A = this chain, B = another copy of it.
Amino acid sequence: MDRFLSNAVNRIDAKGRVSVPAHFRAVVQKRGYSELYALRCLDRPAMDVGGLDLLDRYEQRIAQEDPFLQTADDMSFFCHGDGTFLKLDQDGRITMSDFIREHTGISAEVAFVGRGNFFQIWEPGRLATYGAEARARLLQLRQGTKPGERPE
């Protein structure tokens, strides 16, 4: 399997390190990522983590904009400046910098969530909250289909 799937919660040690789940490490290796890049999610207290190809999509998008307008600058700021490298040590661990803790609220434990071509890291409590909200929204959608009728 070459996609990031499933999820796991691991503990941060005294040095601020946390093990990336073995399954994710295998995917990283299979995809040939030499280093990981973590991006602050726009509207969530989470980081998107993946290879540098994570940036390709954003850069293609930026190329469509007038480089002297605000939008292009904001996009570049977001994808080039609002991210950080995550180096896997040889035991497969990454260190949680203040930059990441600030945005995610992570302190003692990290939740890893597969998202296909990348994965996310969350503070476990906030992930649970967000998951509940996401499910609630999906229920809303379902109820938005014809009332009393089964949506499938």
Contacts and interface: CB of A to CB of B under 8 A. Distances in A.
Interface in A22-65: 23, 35, 37, 42-43, 52, 55, 57, 59, 61
A138 B75 contact: yes
Contacts of A83: 5-7
Given A6-B85, A84-B7, A134 B67 contact: no
Interface residues of A, number: 48
A116 interface: yes
A125 interface: no
Contacts of A20: none
B42 A77 contact: no
A113 interface: yes
A71 B6 contact: no
B137 A70 contact: yes
Contact of A5 (B6, B23, B80, B113): B80
Contacts of A23: 85
A82 interface: yes
A57 B120 CA distance: 23
Nearest to A122: B81
